[in-house]
């Protein structure tokens, strides 16, 4: 194995991050073996092991994320004095039954009980009170590869401990960019920083992600970029530097969704508003759209995408190339900074992501012979063309296809508020078809109410109900029309939370479910559940019911450690429940989505 990049584990694979998932309360002192971590206890490492992983824990506080000690089973000298020494030290601390975590780690590597030593040493270092002094460091007498690795790890851990003690932490971050070793280091650092996390103001910034994206982009243009995982504290903190919106992490986060960002909502908007005149690098129209996202004024896939593109168009109009810079690179960097600002305001929707990719592609493909003003005009017309072709005209085509499926005496059910479905209903009404609409709505957003108002104003016969009653009302329904935020490659529909339930009930009743979605929202990603990628909304709105001040049972929910509130924004509907997808390319079965992505992404959009 070559040593340019020290391998993290002898198993050669990704080091497992073992953590307690599910709804674990953070302050339990004696953790019961979490079922999520499936490791059979390996007896031989049971003895002196009990302590290492628990040694970093102050008695009574269990960090929700436990890092298994690294697996460096093959590099210890047979008679190094350190194992015995560390064992002696650690055996004295209270044995915690976290042995199983270590067992899991050791199972993945070799079953060498000597793997205890470096891990023990490092974790000892991570106690936070030993700044820089690792008892396991005296392995310098042997220079085997594994020992060097152990030394490196120990040094990194020492640095991390030093950083936690208040030094500036930039050096560790600069060490390796996208190096996966960083995440391991972050995990090591995390154990010492665990106590600080609930209080630390860590922000979401994906500057790092964006800057990683650019070199990667040249290599793999078409692969979707990995999203930032927000449970990786090191990366989150690193990105904090460039963040514009100051956000404080919410307390009482649900364990299962730790990889998604969640912030305290009340403070963001006034903070951002107050910074208006100080944010010189952000163009005012971009700033305005960001504020609109944050406040929830602009919502919905199409609306957000159009607002963003128009803001970019304004920004491009006012753009002038700084001296000694090429327009395409500088403009791309500027757009990226705007995008990271938007992400801080509200995570990007998939439609926005696709539009950004299109824009960057157009910038990259600009012919070099054009002058700056010509380039700017060309980009602006590209943006306008995108909006027109992919959204406005596409919607009209979808409506013309969908209208063939609306017959007289139909009862159409829709969920939430989708712009395309509203257009279909309006058009059908204009054509004089006789039908009635059932609008199903759900808390906390209650988006259906707006749709209901607009439909009733047009004179359409409507029924309004809450999602609890969907199985009650489904027997009257003849067709279900749903909108989508995106459709993924395996035919899964990614849409507002609650859509999956409505589709499932409709399927159980044998009612056809028609999903209307423009083709620019399709994505190559495959998602099997609603957990790995989602958006978390403000949990406070769940605890309050507007108009019912007396229902204040959850008033101080944040103070209760046993209580976590979850406000998901999206969910994934499996393709089995979808009868047909109506796009601007026609009516397709859900299995044909990858064909459209394959055939028409390359040609039309990214040419």
- Min dist CB 233 to another protein, Å, is 44
For the chain, helix (H) and strand (E) counts, in that order, are: 22, 10
Q: Residues 223, 529, 599, 602: which binds another protein (CB under 8 A)?
A: 599
Do β-strands 493-496 and 513-516 pair in parallel, antiparallel, or remain unpaired?
unpaired
Q: Is 310 exposed, middle or buried (0-12, 13-18, 19+ CB in 10 A)?
A: middle
Please list every residue from 539 through 598 that binds another protein, using CB under 8 A: 579-580, 585-589, 591-592, 595-596
Q: How far is the CB of 394 from another protein (least distance, A)?
A: 14
Shorter beta-carbon distance to another protein: residue 22 or 589:
589
Of 383 and 424, the one with the shorter C-beta distance to another protein is 424
| Tokens linked to 326 | 């090429």
- 601 near another protein (CB under 8 A): no
Q: Judged by CB, which is closer to another protein: 561, or 599?
A: 599
CB 191 within 8 A of CB 240: no
- State which residue, 167 or 595, has the beta carbon closest to another protein: 595
> Are residues 594 and 527 in contact, defined by beta-carbon separation less than 8 angstroms?
no
Strand partners, 482: 515
Residue 131's contacts (CB-CB under 8 Å, 6 or more residues apart) are 158, 161, 162, 165
Nearer to another protein, 73 or 402 (CB): 402
Between the alpha carbon of residue 132 and those of residues 52, 169, 304, 517, the distances in Å are: 18, 14, 49, 56
Residue 424 CB, nearest approach to another protein (Å): 15
Residue 538, number of CB atoms within 10 A of its CB: 17
Q: What is d(CA 394, CA 590) in angstroms, rounded to the nearest whole number?
A: 18
Phi, psi of 474 (to 5 degrees): -65, -25
Residue position matching structure tokens 């990683």:
212
Instruction: Name residues contacting another protein, limited to 287-306 (CB under 8 A).
Output: none
| Pairwise CA distance, residues 92 & 72, whole Å | 24
Structural contact between residues 460 and 425, judged by C-beta atoms closer than 8 angstroms: yes
Structure tokens at 450: 């707006």
DSSP per-residue letters across 401-449: HHGGG--TTEEEEEES--HHHHHHHHHHHHTT--EEEEEEE-TTT-THH
Could you tell me the smallest distance in angstroms from the CB atom of residue 57 to another protein?
53
What is the closest distance, in whole angstroms, from the C-beta atom of residue 491 to another protein in the complex? 10
With residue 437 as reference, give the H or E element that holds it.
strand 435-441
Q: Which is nearer to another protein, 309 or 516 (CB)?
A: 516
Residue placing its CB nearer to another protein in the complex, 66 or 597: 597
Is 410 or 540 the residue whose CB approaches another protein more closely? 410
Contact 366, 328 (CB under 8 A): yes
Contact, 263 vs 200, CB < 8 A?
A: no
Nearer to another protein, 414 or 564 (CB): 414
378-417 footprint of another protein as x/- string (CB under 8 A): ---------------------------x------------
Distances from the Cα of 73 to the Cα of 106, 446, 566, angstroms: 8, 56, 41
- CA distance readout (Å), 232 to 184, 190, 383: 9, 8, 35
Total residues in contact with another protein, by rule CB under 8 A: 17
Comparing CB distances to another protein, the nearer of 310 and 580 is: 580
State the nearest-atom distance from the C-beta of 519 to another protein, in Å.
10
Least separation in angstroms between CB 44 and another protein: 49
Q: How do beta strands 513-516 and 479-483 pair? A: parallel
For residue 231 the two structure tokens come to 């449970």
C-alpha–C-alpha distance, residues 595 and 584, integer Å: 14
**What backbone torsions phi and psi does residue 570 show, to the nearest 5 degrees?**
-125, 160
Of the two residues 366 and 587, which places its CB atom closer to another protein in the complex? 587
> Minimal distance in Å, beta carbon 361 to another protein?
22
Which CB atom, from 289 or from 513, has the smaller least distance to another protein? Answer: 513
In angstroms, give the least distance from the CB of 586 to another protein.
7
264 or 587: whose CB is closer to another protein?
587
By CB under 8 A, the residues from 85 to 124 that bind another protein are none
Degrees to nearest 5, angle at CA 124 with 119 and 128? 130
Q: Least distance in Å: CB of 490 to another protein? A: 12
Min CB(602)–another protein separation in Å: 14
Neighbours of 22 (CB within 10 A): 11
- Residue 5 has a CB neighbour count (10 Å cut-off) of 11
Least distance in angstroms from the C-beta of 410 to another protein: 11
CB of 474 to another protein, least distance (A): 15
Closest residue by Cα to residue 193 from 85, 63, 292, 308: 63
Quick one: 2 or 409, whose CB is closer to another protein? 409
> How are strands ordered across the β-sheet holding 493-496?
486-487, 493-496, 570-573
Provide the minimum distance between the beta carbon of 403 and another protein in the complex, in angstroms, as a whole number.
14
Paired with 54 in beta bridges are none
Q: Which of residues 465-524 bind another protein (CB under 8 A)?
A: 479, 512, 514
Q: Is 272 helix (H, G, I), strand (E, B) or coil?
A: helix
Nearer to another protein, 169 or 512 (CB): 512
Judge whether 14 and 183 are in contact, CB under 8 Å.
no
Of residues 502, 455, 452, the one with CA closest to residue 479: 502
Q: Least Å distance between CB 595 and another protein?
A: 5
Binding positions for another protein, rule: CB under 8 A = 405, 479, 512, 514, 579-580, 585-589, 591-592, 595-596, 599-600
């Amino acid at each position: 194995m070559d040593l340019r990049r020290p391998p993290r584990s002898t198993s050669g694979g990704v080091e497992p991050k073992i953590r307690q998932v599910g709804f674990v309360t953070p302050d339990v002192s004696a953790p019961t073996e979490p079922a999520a971590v499936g490791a059979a206890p390996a007896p031989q490492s049971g003895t002196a092991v009990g302590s290492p992983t628990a040694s970093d824990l102050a008695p009574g506080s269990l960090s929700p994320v436990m890092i298994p000690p690294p697996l460096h089973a093959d590099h210890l000298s047979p008679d190094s004095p350190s194992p015995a020494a560390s064992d002696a030290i650690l055996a004295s601390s209270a044995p915690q039954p976290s042995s199983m975590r270590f067992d899991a780690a050791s199972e993945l590597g070799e079953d060498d009980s000597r793997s205890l030593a470096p891990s023990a040493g490092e974790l000892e270092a991570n106690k936070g009170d030993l700044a820089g002094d690792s008892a396991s460091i005296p392995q310098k007498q042997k220079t085997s590869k594994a020992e060097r690795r152990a030394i490196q790890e120990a040094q990194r851990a020492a640095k991390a401990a030093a950083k936690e003690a208040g030094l500036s932490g930039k050096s560790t971050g600069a060490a390796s960019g996208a190096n996966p070793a960083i995440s391991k280091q972050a995990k090591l650092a995390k154990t010492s920083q665990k106590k600080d996390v609930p209080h630390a103001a860590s922000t979401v910034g994906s500057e790092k992600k964006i800057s990683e994206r650019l070199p990667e982009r040249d290599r793999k243009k078409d692969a979707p970029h990995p999203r930032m995982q927000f449970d990786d504290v090191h990366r989150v903190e690193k990105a904090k530097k460039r963040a514009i919106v100051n956000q404080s992490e919410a307390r009482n986060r649900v364990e299962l969704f730790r990889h998604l960002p969640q912030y305290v909502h009340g403070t963001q908007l006034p903070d951002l508003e107050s910074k208006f005149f100080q944010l010189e690098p952000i163009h005012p129209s971009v700033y305005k759209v960001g504020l609109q996202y944050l406040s929830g004024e602009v919502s919905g896939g199409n609306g957000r995408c159009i607002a963003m593109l128009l803001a970019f168009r304004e920004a491009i109009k006012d753009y002038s190339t700084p001296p000694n810079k090429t327009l395409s690179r500088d403009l791309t960097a500027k757009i990226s900074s705007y995008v990271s600002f938007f992400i801080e305001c509200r995570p990007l929707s998939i439609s926005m992501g696709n539009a950004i990719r299109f824009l960057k592609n157009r910038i990259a493909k600009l012919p070099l012979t054009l002058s700056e003003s010509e380039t700017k005009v060309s980009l602006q017309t590209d943006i306008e063309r995108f909006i027109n072709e992919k959204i406005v005209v596409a919607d009209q085509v979808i409506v013309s296809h969908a209208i063939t499926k609306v017959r007289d005496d139909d009862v159409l059910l829709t969920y939430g508020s989708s712009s395309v479905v509203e257009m279909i209903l309006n058009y059908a009404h204009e054509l004089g078809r006789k039908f009635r609409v059932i609008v199903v709505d759900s808390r906390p957003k209650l988006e259906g109410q707006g749709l209901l108002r607009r439909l009733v104003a047009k004179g359409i016969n409507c029924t309004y109900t809450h999602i609890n009653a969907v199985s009650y009302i489904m027997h009257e329904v003849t067709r279900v029309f749903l909108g989508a935020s995106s459709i993924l490659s395996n035919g899964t529909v990614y849409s507002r939370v609650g859509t999956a339930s409505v589709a499932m009930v409709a399927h159980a009743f044998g009612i056809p479910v028609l999903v209307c979605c423009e083709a620019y929202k399709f994505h190559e990603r495959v998602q099997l559940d609603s957990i790995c990628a989602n958006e978390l909304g403000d949990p406070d709105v769940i605890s309050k019911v507007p108009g019912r001040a007396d229902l204040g049972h959850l008033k101080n929910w944040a103070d209760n450690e046993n209580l976590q509130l979850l406000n998901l924004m999206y969910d994934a509907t499996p393709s089995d429940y979808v009868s047909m997808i109506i796009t601007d390319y026609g009516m397709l079965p859900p299995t044909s989505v990858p064909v459209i992505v394959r055939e028409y992404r390359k040609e039309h959009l990214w040419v």
